[in-house]
Structure 1
């Protein structure tokens, strides 16, 4: 392949790559400067675009952050939806969901996105509301449905499904805060996978009849 054909291929591919490149640039700028202090021109420069080109993809910072949330959590919502409809034992489904989410909490920027949502929701309520409506209020009812199904089939003892799901999710919030807040300040690196696997094992054993 000649240099000219390589350049042509990159040129053909680049428009499809730009949204992902812009989101990566936005997360980097948000993490460095904070959401309120970040400017669209900073993000455009980081992504190698003009400010005008950036606005063709994302009209403002709030839209960018919402897109980051969707990118980071969309797969987990789809997985929870599929699990809620699966007619199998519940315990393996919960363990699979939890360990998959733990891998994302360990290996991706998900903790830093959650930190941004928490930090900016008071000044920008639309951000917190978006996360609440599109992540929290989507995932939790599906997980509650799983717990309730386990109770109905006798796999689990009778508990409050809403409380059980919130108990299940606690260490995920701890992991996000630890990775995004405490590790940058010098805290020991957290093995999120090991923490979540142990927690879910204890959680599921606690649900046995």
Structure 2
């Protein structure tokens, strides 16, 4: 008789697999970054505090009930509010990835980064997977003002860049959020490689049409 694997068990394993993939490819380091996913009944699974995404234990992920109360697993990350802000405003989101990825963080530190849209639409895939990327002003980690700033932006976009901190991306699925995050980081890398040179990004109209598709 074939055992039935629950949605929660599958999602626990998927979060750990995505975390290891991101860590192994240098998209996060040490214990930075966090991942969450929303289950069908509204509960949230999230990577815990002080945990490396490269060595996650499925059984120790933080579990929240549908009201956002921590009910099981290790102590949650202090950045849990970033995830909850996204879910509150993005009703179609079922996963959130937050990283301190090198190139995206570098863009967030540049003095000439556009706060309304931190990266130009250099490729079609960036426009489709990320779209507009507002830069959220710097707040100290854990500051409640950061939660309010992210929540305000999440009403209109599914990805934000936190100044001197890193990107937060929501997706319809865990893979959607992962792929969008990877596209964001690659575009940040391209942007830095080309910085100071004349470029031909997609027009805003072209990018918006792709994002709408």
Q: Which has more radius of gyration?
A: 1
| Same-fold status (TM-score > 0.5) | no
Query: TM-score, normalized by length of structure 2?
Result: 0.31
Which structure is higher in strand share?
2
Query: TM-score, normalized by length of structure 1?
Result: 0.32
Which structure is higher in helix share?
1
